[in-house]
Structure 1
């Protein structure tokens, strides 16, 4: 199993972070985006925007076009 966490080029809305996480976890990207936004809004302990920005800069971009 050679899965690597990378931002996706093919399934992105802003930077490909949620698309890359969904691909890594084997989920549908749209469902992960909805869960991420809901958790970010409903939880005071989860700073969603800050986490997204950090992941944007930390996760490498996927070189392959799927």
Structure 2
């Protein structure tokens, strides 16, 4: 493993930084991650859980 950890983004955040953190971890666009959370309604529950349990950057 390269030492990367999944954390909320401190720079790319709109609500809590969850999507920005996921995008930074996988090296993809945060817009793509946000669209996935919007398109699939059940992801709202996952987003709330991640916002609570993901550590800050």
TM over 0.5: yes
Give the gaps of 5 or more residues in structure 2: none
- 4+ residue segments displaced more than 4 Å: none
Shift of 1:39: 2.0
Distance between the aligned counterparts of 1:61 and 1:38, measured in 2?
25
- How does the TM-score come out when normalised to structure 2? 0.88
The count of corresponding residues between Structure 1 and Structure 2 is 56
Give the gaps of 5 or more residues in structure 1: 41-46
- How does the TM-score come out when normalised to structure 1? 0.78
Q: Which residue does the alignment assign to 1:27?
A: 28
Larger radius of gyration: 1
